[in-house]
Structure 1
Amino acid sequence: MYNSNAKLIMFLLLFIIVDTAYSEGYTITEATAYTITGAEYFIDVDPGEGNGTPLAPKDDAFDSSLEQIDMSNLKLPQDLKIGYHYLYVRMKNQDGIWGLASRQLFKVVGTKTIQAAEYFVNYDPGKGNATPLEINNGKVDISDIDTSDLTVGINRFFIRMQNSEGDWGPARQFDIEVLERPTMQAADYYVNTFPESGEGQPLNAYDGTFDGDTEQFKGILDTANMDIGTYTLFVRAQNSHHRWGEVVSKQFEVRLPPHISGRVFTDIGGWKNLSISNAHVSLAGTSYSATTNDNGDFVIMNMPPGDYTLTINSPDFYPYTQTINWTGKQPIQLNLPPAERGQYTRSDIEKIIRKYDPSMDEKVSLEEAIHALKTVSGFLEE
Structure 2
Amino acid sequence: MKRLLYLVFVLTSYVMYAQGDISEIEYYFDTDPGIGNGTSIDIDPDVELLNQNFSIPTTGLSTGNHKLFVRAVKDDGSTSYYYSQNFSIRAANATFNSSDIDGFEYYFDTDPGIGNGTQLMVTDSELINESFSIPTGSLSTGSHRLFIRSKSSDGLHSEYDNVAFSISNNPAVFNTNDIVSAEYYFDTDPGTGNATNISIPSGETLNENLAFLTNVMPLGNYRVFLRVKNANDDWSMYDRVTFSVVPLAGVNISDINTIEYFFDTDPGIGLGNNITITDTETVTQSVAIPTASLSAGTHRLCIRVGNTNGTYSLFTHNVISVKTPSFFNTASIVAAEYFIDVDPGIGNGNAIVTSGDNIDEDFLITTSGSLSMGDHYVYVRVQNSDGTWSLLEKQHFEVEETLGINSEIISEISIYPNPTQSILNLKLPNTITIESIDLIDMNGKQIFHSIEALKKLDLSNVSNGIYLLQLKTNIGELSKRIVKQ
Q: TM-score range by the shorter chain?
A: under 0.3
Q: TM-score, normalised by structure 2?
A: 0.20
* Greater radius of gyration (CA): 1
Q: Which has the higher helix share?
A: 1
Q: Which has the higher strand share?
A: 2
